[in-house]
Amino acid sequence: MAGSGNRGGATTVHVAEHRAVGTATRPSDSIWALVRISIGWVFLWAFLDKTFGWGFNTPADRAWIGGASPTTGYLKGTVRKPLGAVFSPLAGHAWADWLFMLGLLGTGAALVLGVGLRLAAALGGLLLLLMWAAELPPEHNPFMDYRLVYALVMVGLAMVNAGDTLGIGRWWGNTALVRRHPFLK
């Protein structure tokens, strides 16, 4: 039965062999990898559009590279929200701009590449949670919106090692750096 992949311990060996060479063993592995890459692209695109002002969400005259603040529009818009007194004063500060943009870039790159998913889930999730809190209450629901859903999905992606399929997560996890510091997995 070894190699048949459908009885007893043979399935475990079969799965282990496939995982060792970095191939997907189930269709769901590929789906989760595509979800990971898609959410990563959402973060990367936000970074690129805000940096260069490509006109999708950020006009050219509001590009970060041209001196505009990527946090000003969003955070100033929270002034009439319940937590506006906390978030609105942060708008336009260089440290807030840099943290926000590095959060977008780092989370996006980690998800697309499939590396550091634990850290990306924690820090990207924190970024999303703060954005959610700044918008409370969400426009179309008393409390739930896509930011919370993305944060939960990112935690799930880290838990199932979604970076091992269609990503370099397996290689990354075997580096000396990650073996010494497992939170970087």
Q: Is this prediction's pTM over 0.85?
A: no
The pLDDT score that the predictor gives to residue 5 is: 44
Residue 88's pLDDT band (boundaries 50, 70, 90)?
very high
Task: Using DSSP, state whether 82 is helix, strand or coil.
Answer: coil
CA atoms in the 13 A half-sphere facing the CB of 156: 14
The pLDDT score that the predictor gives to residue 25 is: 75
Residues 114/36, Cβ–Cβ less than 8 Å:
yes
75 is written with which tokens?
Answer: 């955070």
Residues 146-160: pLDDT tens digits? Answer: 999 999 999 999 999
Render the burial of 130-149: b for 16+ CB within 10 Å, e for the rest.
bbbebbeeeeeeeeebebbe
Residue 69's pLDDT band (boundaries 50, 70, 90)?
very high
Check pLDDT > 70 for residue 61: yes
Query: How many Cβ atoms are within 10 Å of 66's Cβ, its own excluded?
Result: 11
Residue 23's pLDDT band (boundaries 50, 70, 90)?
low
The pLDDT score that the predictor gives to residue 24 is: 56
Alpha-carbon span 132 to 138, nearest angstrom? 8
Residue 14's pLDDT band (boundaries 50, 70, 90)?
very low
Alpha-carbon span 125 to 104, nearest angstrom? 11
The pLDDT score that the predictor gives to residue 10 is: 43
